[in-house]
């Protein structure tokens, strides 16, 4: 039985894949679709996911596989969010970001009515 890693530990793609319950190729594909997802890559292109990468993968998984968003919808949602720097903690939402999310929700509601 493998030892449990702490929440702040880096994870390999295999560990994250097993933890999330998704195949590795899906995680690699998401790296091509979501510019915010950039794990560290060491020699031999071995990926190491930081805690913030793990949180982003969990969020993408929730939006795509549980809440019914499309890839494009999640891309728009993530793009509308401000980028937080390493020293800034959690950034406050911008007015443009809030408007983009509101537009996404309005489109979803309009499609639901059809």
pTM of the predicted protein model: 0.68
Whether 52 and 97 share a structural domain: no
Range list of H helices, 21-50: 24-33
Question: Using 50, 70 and 90 to split pLDDT, how confident is the model at 84?
Answer: low
Cα dihedral 105, 107, 111, 114, rounded to 10, equals: 110
Whether residue 75 lies inside any domain: the answer is no
Count the domains in the chain: 2
What value does the mean pLDDT of the chain take?
84
> Within this chain, do residues 14 and 64 fall inside the same structural domain, yes or no?
yes
- Domain range for 87: 80-114
Q: Where are the beta strands (DSSP E) in 17-88?
A: 40-41, 47-49
More confidently predicted of 88 and 7: 7
């Amino acid at each position: 039985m493998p030892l449990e890693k702490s929440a702040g530990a880096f994870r390999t793609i295999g560990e994250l894949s097993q933890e999330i319950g998704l195949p590795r190729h899906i995680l690699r594909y998401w790296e091509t679709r979501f510019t915010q997802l950039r794990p560290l890559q060491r020699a031999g292109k071995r990926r190491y996911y930081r805690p913030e990468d793990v949180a982003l993968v969990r969020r993408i998984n929730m939006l795509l596989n549980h809440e019914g968003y499309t890839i494009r919808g999640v891309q728009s949602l993530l793009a509308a969010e401000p980028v937080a720097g390493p020293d800034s903690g959690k950034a406050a939402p911008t007015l443009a970001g809030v408007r983009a999310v509101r537009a996404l929700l309005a489109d979803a509601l309009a499609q639901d009515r059809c």
